[in-house]
Structure 1
């Protein structure tokens, strides 16, 4: 099964993969129904989760019902338990909207919610993150998760994110990050897809971020909180929700 998933992820174009996932996810949700693990986003429980990964496959990480991964479930719990995101009126911009969040955020009456991406078939606005069509100081909240590692000029992208965020607003900019690595690694000479997946974690990534990612955001002008939310959770909940212990949520403010 892991080999099949690996082949599909690395062979099927992402827009087609997104559409296909809507068809197969209900099937897996029914097959894997159980009571060992719970997806906090929809409250459904399973005997196991699915494997996922473009390079090395991670076992028991992909929810068959919402298609959430560890980072999505962690962010959901943080937003629900630690913020007023689900109750206060906010203007929200969401880059490359994740399927597990999209419909749920759209139904929240307190949100003025806009999604954007250059390629995603489920985004509202087609836009280049390095040249956004939005006015300065437009959004209370910006989600830009697992996007910047795809962008050759991530400095320009960060500057655009800062420009359109309102003063006093906040953003969550999750990225694949190696916290054992002090300095971000990128090498444009690596063009082979298999090699890129091996080194960067995915065939279309252009870098693997290190600890310096937070300071790069600070250099742009953001105030950054490196939130280890799993440190506040019970060990049994980390296991129950299939979270990555120690994963950092980069919470930024303007």
Structure 2
């Protein structure tokens, strides 16, 4: 949600302080995103023109900084999969036990140091991390339950994981086992690297079945000028 000054949308970036309208981002050439009203995907005013932060990145930042207030906590261990540049820079500044990882290092450009991590099977010990950030990644993994189970294993008891995905609330989960090419996935899911579109209730059930206690919350009205998508709920996954 954004504030309005006259006819202009108003936004103040929580990362860089830019004050002004948001830029458009996201794909709009595949009808499935509009047909299923997919939240967290598609064409929308969402990117900061200055630091290039996205709405989904600012949502996680707002939760961790403003709601959880983790900035003052010492010795937090944090794993960040497929790290967004601005979020990585901030988390690195507050945690000396921060690990950024990605399974596709050759295809990405990152702001900071990133090591190879396949979240389906890692070398990390059981109960290792206080927080795990895996923002819009699980939707790209065919073995989603395996990846979520690995996140549960390496998360500390009492720890929390943020595992956002694009969501539809008007259809059951869309997934076709025989789709394998980028072109097929673009038509079926709206993006060439996605493996499915999750239904909100089915996704919550999947997270619960893995073992997480789920708290679904929306912070857009509390932080209107942060440029958070007002439709995107945050799935806070706790290991009890």
The question of 1:66 aligning with 2:55 is answered: no
TM-score, with length taken from structure 1: 0.77
Q: CA deviation at 1:179?
A: 2.0
For 1:44, the equivalent position in structure 2 comes to: 18
**2:178 & 2:81 partners in 1: Cα distance?**
28
**2:199 & 2:92 partners in 1: Cα distance?**
33
**1:78 & 1:54 partners in 2: Cα distance?**
28
2:80 to 74, 94, 97: 94
CA RMSD after TM alignment: 2.2
**2:217 & 2:198 partners in 1: Cα distance?**
16
**1:244 & 1:40 partners in 2: Cα distance?**
14
Over residues 184-230 of structure 1, what are the superposed CA-to-partner deviations in whole Å (9 max), with x where a residue is unaligned? 22103234434422331210101001121011111111101011222
**2:120 & 2:164 partners in 1: Cα distance?**
17
SS at match of 1:128: coil
**1:55 & 1:133 partners in 2: Cα distance?**
39
**2:102 & 2:29 partners in 1: Cα distance?**
24
The question of 1:229 aligning with 2:219 is answered: yes
**1:186 & 1:194 partners in 2: Cα distance?**
15
Q: CA deviation at 1:111?
A: 4.2
TM-score, with length taken from structure 2: 0.81
Tell me, which stretches of 5 or more residues in structure 1 are unaligned?
1-33
Structure 1 pair 152–233 and aligned structure 2 pair: CA distance change class (3 A): same
The question of 1:130 aligning with 2:120 is answered: yes
* Count of matched residue positions in the alignment of Structure 1 and Structure 2: 214
Tell me, which stretches of 5 or more residues in structure 2 are unaligned?
1-7, 31-41
**1:196 & 1:92 partners in 2: Cα distance?**
32
Q: Which structure's relative contact order is higher, taking Cα pairs within 8 Å and 6+ residues apart? A: 2
The question of 1:78 aligning with 2:63 is answered: yes
